[in-house]
Amino acid sequence: MVGQGYQKTSLDHCVFVQKFSENDFVILLLYVDDMLVVGRKSARIMELKKQLGQSFAMKDLGPTKQILGIRISRDREGKKLWLSQEGYVEKVLQRFNMEGSKPVSTPLANHFRLSKQQCPSSDTEKARMSKIPYSSAIGSLMYAAVCVRRTLLMRLAL
């Protein structure tokens, strides 16, 4: 992509940008075998797709509805775009049997402090807690937080 005149962004090494003028650009997001191409001019997007199609086997799935767990909705006339991770978060809640959880803005009150006395002490408590995949749950939630933050930072950087 660099050889084609694109620059790798400093915020995410999977995102490449080529600016032709202040209001004319193409952004290419590559992640494993998923690709998202956006830009101001459809002719530039089609040109990039043609170039990539000469080097790689590709399928054009049309206007993007979802990528990497992020749902994309558009109002083309109003020139508005919405990104949502609601479906991804719902799947995470189902995976960890937390569908009935109540949403709160802050999971713990500011005055609440964790202590060693709250750790499981009996063998039964320890065995039960060892079966709960906390690190996977935290990793899934961190993915959602990082995706939103990167998307917003990329938008601000452009």
| Average pLDDT per 10 consecutive residues for the chain, totaling 158 residues | 83 86 87 84 90 85 84 88 86 88 76 86 90 86 75 51
Q: Give residue 122's pLDDT.
A: 92
Give burial (CB, 10 Å; 0-12/13-18/19+) of 125. exposed
Site of tokens 């690709």:
35
What is the rounded CA–CA span in Å between residue 120 and residue 34? 43
Amino acid 124: pLDDT = 93
Burial of 137 (0-12, 13-18, 19+ CB in 10 A): middle
Hey, which residues does 83 pair with through a beta bridge? 72
Cα separation, 1 vs 52, in Å, equals 9
> Do 26 and 18 contact (CB within 8 A), yes or no?
yes
pLDDT of the residue at 153: 52
Q: Classify burial at 44, counting beta carbons within 10 Å of its beta carbon; exposed 0-12, middle 13-18, buried 19 or more.
A: middle
Cβ atoms 135, 96 nearer than 8 A? no
Both ends of the chain: CA-CA distance in Å? 18
Domain boundaries, the chain: 1-62, 64-101+120-158
**Per-residue model confidence (pLDDT) at position 148:** 64
Residue 78: per-residue pLDDT:
92
